[in-house]
Amino acid sequence: MNNTSKILLGFIAGAAIGGALGILLAPDKGSETRRRIVEKGNEFGDSIVDLGETVKDKFNDVVDGVKGSFNRTKNSMS
């Protein structure tokens, strides 16, 4: 995992923890707190999906680069 992915994951985790603590410590009714927890959970899930897609795209870019290098090397040896 590269630096950018680590920083992004750390940011997402920190935001999720901060959001959860803010919700739990806020003086709201129980039903309102539960609704907000569900919303934040959904947002966190969406963030994880986005992170996964970003990592997958970067991985595919690396694979494509390696394939291209391999093909260039193979062609130069022919």
pLDDT, one tens digit per residue, over 54-72 is 888 888 888 888 888 888 8
CB neighbour list of residue 17: distance below 8 Å, 6 or more residues apart? none
d(CA 44, CA 50): 10
| pLDDT recorded at residue 50 | 85
9-33 per-position pLDDT tens digit: 788 888 888 877 877 777 778 788 7
Contacts of 43 (CB under 8 A, 6+ apart): 19
Calculate mean pLDDT across residues 43-53.
84
Of the two residues 1 and 63, the one the predictor is more confident about is 63
pLDDT of residue 28: 73
Does position 1 have pLDDT exceeding 70, yes or no? Answer: no
- Break the chain into its structural domains and give their ranges: 3-77
In the prediction, which pLDDT does 76 show?
A: 84
CA atoms within a 13 Å half-sphere pointing along the CA-CB vector of 41: 6
